[in-house]
Every structure is written in C-alpha cells, then in structure tokens.
A and B are shown apart, each in its own frame.
Chain A
Amino acid sequence: MKLPIYMDNHATTPVDPRVFKAMIPYFTDTFGNAASRNHSFGWVAEDAVEKARKQVAELIGATAKEIVFTSGATESDNLALKGVAEMYAEKGNHIITAATEHKAILDTCKRLEKEGYKVTYLPVETNGLVDLDKLRAAMTDKTILVSIMYANNEIGVLQPVAEISKIAKERGALFHTDATQAIGKVPVDVIKDGIDLASISAHKMYGPKGVGALYVRRRNPRVQLTAQMDGGGHERGMRSGTLNVPGIVGLGEACAIAKAEMSEEIKRMSYLRDKLKARLMSSLDEVYINGTMEHRLPNNLNISFAYVEGESLLMGINEIAVSSGSACTSATLEPSYVLKALGAGDDLAHSSIRFGLGRFNTEEEVDYVAAKVIDVVQKLRELSPLYEMHKEGIDLTKVQWTAH
C-alpha cells in the first residue's frame, strides 16, 4: 500500500490507464482537426469523435446526435440553463432548481436572475432530497425549466429524477439534470428518467479534465438551445470551438469502460463504503451520516464526527486525501452550504468529512483509513472542550456562547 491515499473521487478521479492509452495517438500521430473535411487527418479525427459520441450516448440510453461536447460540466450547466432560458424566453421566465446544487448551477441562476428571470431555489429535506410536493407547488405556467442534480457532489444523495421530470413535464417545462457525479457510477437512462438535458464531465469518471458533454434531447420533445459561444458553428451550432479530440476520445473510452464494468463496480464500491462506515460507527460514538443512505451513490460517505473540527481532523490524517465541509477549510470561512441546507446545524457541518471512494481504492486502504481516522478523532476529542462538556452531560445547545 502506498501513501498518500486518494479518497476524494468526487473532486476528481485519476485517468484510467486504458483511457489514457486510447487518447495517446490523438496528440501526436492522428492530431487532425475534426472539422477538416478535405483530408485524411481530419477524417480520422472526425471518426474518433463520432465513435466517442456513440460511446457516451450508449452509456445513458441516448442517440449519438443528442451529445454535444463541451469543456466540462460547468460549461454544460451554463449552456443548458442559459441556452434554454434564452431560447424559451417568450414562453416563460421561471426556472426551478434546488439549494444543494453545484455552484455551476447556482451561480448561473444568479446571473439569469440579474437578467430578469425568476428562479426558485427549492429547499431540501433533512435527508438531502427535494420534496416533490414543494416542487409541484413551485411550478407555474411561466416555468420553462426544472434543473435538479442527479447525485450530489458532497453527500452523494440521488434525487428522484424520474418523478421530478414527470412533474416538470405535466406543466410543460423541460427537465435538466447535472448528472456529473452520477453518470458512470450508477445507471442513468435519459428515457426511463425522462431527462431532456444532462450535464456530463469526464474527469469525474476516470477520464481527462477539461472535457464533458451536454445531452440534448432530439425527440419528444425536441429541445432547442441558444448557443452561448459564437464561432465556427461546431456541434450542430450549439457549441463552437475546435473539438478537443484526445479529450473526447478519453471521455468516450471512459463511458465504454463504465458501461461494461458498472454493475461489478457498484458492488465493489458499496462493499468498501459500507465497510468504512461500519468500522467508523462501531468504534466511535457521536458520529452522524449526512444525507440519506437509502438513495445514495455507492462510493460516497459523508459523515460528521461531532465535537471535532474538520480541518484539524484533515491535518491529523494528512496522508489521506479527503475533504471537509468545515468553514476552516474554505476561503470564505463559511461551512458547506449543502450541509447547512440539510438543517443539521452548522456545528455538524464544521465536523464533516467527505469520503469519495474510487475504482482504484483497495480494501487495505479502506482498513488503513478507518483505523487512522478513528485514532485521530479520539485524539482530537481528548483536546475538545465540547466533547468534555458532552461527557459531563451539558446540553451544548443551551450554552450561552460568545460568538465573535
């Protein structure tokens, strides 16, 4: 076993060596521009792009023509929201999303609000899921788009997308999902799930950084978008810019591998994740899981070790790469807005750790991580005035703190 151990696979994943191998020729030998229509360099590149387009489509039950390549999920989210808002502006000006979305969605919505659109940010329940009745109540005749993520990047909870899309459609709105964390990890089917637009990123699924895709439905209904980038009219006019051929080949290969290996990988991830969870929870008191375990990515564990501050915990396990929702780890000194949205209290957000397991983690690593975390949490609790007070039976919520 080698240190450091990487267990932050929601932030990014390593490129699978098979993906890397598939990409290599497209840097040096077959480096053509996929838009060059009059020589073999261009044709070879175009063939590679079209093969990748098919691989991406097949993973999500789409057709190749419905895949638009982008620079990643941030761009896909921007294109989906701004592109739909602009295209359907005559039909309505209202968009519904959720408080726990990624910043690529939330900040795009803020921008649209400045331009005069109305945005509803649905709260989530304590389990992290959107309440469907609240969604129904928020829908109006002016609602053109509902955008709810498939899987959350911090707590891994899976939203009931099939039901959400049904509600959107009943009122004639389109349904977009930021599926960055879900695609390649759990089965996503644009037909069964009723998805009109979906954002995809390669680097979250063992592909390279800086490439992704937007699924744009072509039938029932045919979704139209106003391009947000002007130029050569690539990607059927929806996204101009010379295609990143090696990156796209990598995304395609990553999708093909995910499709072939998903059912095995889900089993392996759940086994490792559940083992980690069981070890931590049996050895430590006062640990809380953030978000429902019932509807969750198999590789995610987000857990709060009460009375221990997250950054100090990360410091003690410094040869393990994970992340924390603690304010002390963020530039803004604000704790995770996702955990805050669960309503569990800021103190638990400060104490949270996100474990993101991945394809290359081993059982030996999981055992090591569990033992190390248990050891450091125990040490820090010895240092914690809050743990001491808890042990003395003091109700911390009743204490008059001197906030500063």
Chain B
Amino acid sequence: MAYSDKVLDHYNNPRNVGSFDKKDPNVGTGMVGAPECGDVMKLQVKVNPATGIIEDAKFKTFGCGSAIASSSLATEWLRGKTVDEALAIKNTDIVNELSLPPVKIHCSVLAEDAIKAAIDDYKKKSENVGVESKAHA
C-alpha cells in the first residue's frame, strides 16, 4: 500500500512521543485497543487546571504506520485546545488530514477514542481532587 506524504512524515518524525506521570492530577491518560487486535494507543494530555487548556500532549502507539500517524497528529492538534474543543475532534478530521484509505479508517477511530479516554480520565480525576485516582491500565 502506498502511504500519503503526511503519514510518512508523522511516521518518520513522530511528534510528542513519550509519557507523563499517570498519577499527576493534571494528566489524563487514555489507553485504547488491544495487543491481540494489533493496535494499542496510549494518549496523554496535561491540562492547566486554571484555564482548562491542554498545555501538552504525548503518545505512544503500537500499531501500523497510519495508527502512529493518527496519534502523532492528535497530539499536535490537542496542544492549545480546551478540554471541550478537544472532544470535538472527529476521526474523519484525521482521515481527511492524513488522506487515509478506507482500510485505515479504524486507526483514526482509535485515535478519536484515545482522545476521549484521556479527557475522560482527566475529568474524573479533577472531579475527585484529593482522592487518589485509580491507575489507568
């Protein structure tokens, strides 16, 4: 299969690879997919609690090049957005930006799911400030 230039670019120079401390109350972690399915995405957001703005985002992905590119792109888009703006990111936006073919749409769905899971995790944590949050894994 031929990859689009944008997929190749993200694959060759993935943005924002890495991990934050899951226990940091300002960090939301989303982990979606399963090894048996051939794809696992971990996406993390670091939110400024005063402004509700995502100041930083990081990812690690086990999956095909399109899955890596989708999550790399997602971290770029997340930075600077508010939590609610982040929830508005749709997998179809990723499909369009990366020109993903139909067989790779599920890789973008995974990225959208990872965003939602990360934000969800952050929101849960901020609702229970002070309470030790459950490790997400």
On A, residues with C-beta under 8 Å from B are: 307-312, 315-316, 326-328, 331, 333, 335, 345-347, 350, 382-389, 394, 396, 399, 401-404
Contact = CB atoms under 8 A, between A and B. Distances in A.
Contacts, number: 96
Interface stretch (B34-42, B45-53, B73-81): B34-42
Interface in B13-64: 14, 17, 19, 31-42, 60-64
B61 A385 contact: yes
Nearest to B34: A401
Contact of A312 (B60, B68, B117): B68
Contacts of B32: 402, 404
A350 B38 contact: yes
Contacts of B103: 331, 333
B38 A326 contact: yes
16 contacts: A309-B63, A310-B38, A311-B64, A327-B37, A328-B63, A328-B64, A333-B103, A333-B106, A350-B36, A385-B62, A401-B33, A401-B40, A402-B117, A403-B37, A404-B33, A404-B106
Nearest to A326: B38
A362 B66 CA distance: 33
Interface string B60-92: 111111011000000000000000000000000
A189 to B, nearest CB: 41
A309 B60 contact: no
B34 A385 contact: no
A401 B34 CA distance: 5
Contact of B35 (A315, A328, A383, A386): A386
Given A382-B17, A385-B42, A389-B137, A347 B35 contact: yes
Interface residues of B, number: 32
Contacts of B106: 333, 404
Contacts of A346: 35-38
Interface of B: 3, 11, 14, 17, 19, 31-42, 60-65, 67-68, 103, 106, 109-110, 113, 117, 137
A315 B7 CA distance: 11
The interface residues of chain B, by DSSP majority, are classed as: mixed
A317 to B, nearest CB: 12
Nearest to B60: A385
Contacts of B68: 312, 383
A346 B137 CA distance: 20
A315 B62 contact: no
Contact of A394 (B34, B60, B137): B137
B33 A315 contact: no
Contacts of A383: 14, 17, 60-62, 68
B60 A315 contact: no
Given A385-B62, A399-B137, A401-B34, 17 more contacts: A309-B39, A311-B65, A312-B63, A312-B68, A315-B64, A328-B38, A383-B17, A383-B60, A383-B68, A384-B62, A385-B41, A385-B61, A394-B137, A403-B37, A404-B32, A404-B33, A404-B37
Contacts of B17: 382-383
A386 B65 CA distance: 16
Of residues B3, B33, B62, B109, which shows the largest number of chain A Cβ atoms within 10 Å of its Cβ? Answer: B62
Contacts of B40: 385-386, 401
Nearest to A316: B11
Of residues A311, A345, A402, which shows the largest number of chain B Cβ atoms within 10 Å of its Cβ? Answer: A402
B114 to A, nearest CB: 10
